[in-house]
Copies of this chain bind each other. A is one copy, B any other.
């Protein structure tokens, strides 16, 4: 199993605090030592930092935690291998282009039956069930719409339906970003928090770090953070229900859809 981390905001925000909470689970406070990745959107484009080595010891992870990159949308993942070798090609998040924008995907769980599903124009580079599912999901979107849907809710519903379909193949907790939204599906374990004014002080569970968000934010800031399990000790996280798809936009939970087949 793995750990997911997503952030979606209404003002560019750095993810260092949350990422530090996560990365120590990559080989120090947790067993997720088979690589990690972190994707940052800038408009329709994303850049993904990937490392097949443990996040807790990775020089690149330390670099990112020391060099804040502000973004409206980020997706991170630390991996504990269940399917597929420890290789760059098997390191989440995965990225593809569809409709002239990047799509970024990270998965927690296993989908033992997903390889029965035939693929179309998107093909896995590595050998994970996760990347196969991502390719299937994107092909499902591509074949449903001629371009990026004008009505966002059409897209949300299509992703919820595809999430439910793929959820039949195993355990399908995922994060998906398209540069506009963060989609987060809960199969077994996922939680979120919306940080907004009045901001307080948060204490990481996995690191001896506290941050006073009121010192680094303005009253209008809204930051949604999604994670496999709560990252902080003194905040109230909303726990996902199996088969729920959350849609975040502008740092708000815009919709909660049923994502069951």
A201 CB-CB contact with B under 8 Å: no
Q: Are B125 and A102 in contact (CB under 8 A)?
A: yes
Counting chain A residues whose Cβ lies within 8 A of the other chain, the interface size class is 20 to 34
Complex interface bits, A79-98 against B, C-beta within 8 A gives 1, otherwise 0 = 00000000111000000110
Partner pick for A96 among B44, B47, B87, B97, CB 8 A cutoff: B97
Q: Kindly list chain B residues whose C-beta atoms are within 8 Å of the C-beta of A87.
A: 42-43, 45
User: With an 8 A cutoff between CB atoms, is A204 at the interface?
Assistant: no
User: Which residue of the partner chain B has the closest CB to A88?
Assistant: B42
A123 touches B96 (CB 8 A): no
Q: Residues of B contacting A122 with CB < 8 Å?
A: 97
| Copies of this subunit | 2
- Is the CB–CB distance between B67 and A59 below 8 Å? yes
Q: Which residues of B contact A121 (CB under 8 A)?
A: 121
A219 within 8 A of B: no
Bound form: Cα–Cα A218–B87 in Å? 26
Judging by beta carbons under 8 Å apart, are A88 and B124 in contact? Answer: no
Whether B126 lies near A97 (C-beta < 8 A) is: no
In the bound complex, CA of A97 to CA of B126 (Å): 11
In the complex formed, the residue of B with least CB distance to A40 is: B88
Chain B proximity of A130: nearest CB distance (Å): 14
CB of A77 to closest CB in B, whole Å: 14
Residues of the B chain whose Cβ atoms lie less than 8 Å from the Cβ of A44: 89, 125
Distance in angstroms from A175 CB to nearest chain B CB is 19
Please give the distance in Å from A90's CB to the nearest CB on chain B: 8
B100 touches A43 (CB 8 A): no
> Which of B42, B48, B63 is within 8 Å of A47, CB to CB?
B48
The 0/1 profile, CB within 8 Å of B marked 1, for residues 168-203 of chain A is 000000000000000000000000000000000000
Are A43 and B89 touching (Cβ within 8 A)? yes
Known A-B contacts A67-B60, A97-B96; the reply to A88 vs B125 at CB < 8 A is: no
Give chain B residues whose Cβ lies under 8 Å from the Cβ of A156. none
| A49-B49, A63-B63, A67-B60 given; A42·B89 CB < 8 A | yes
- Contacts of A125 on B, CB cut-off 8 Å? 44-45, 97, 100-102
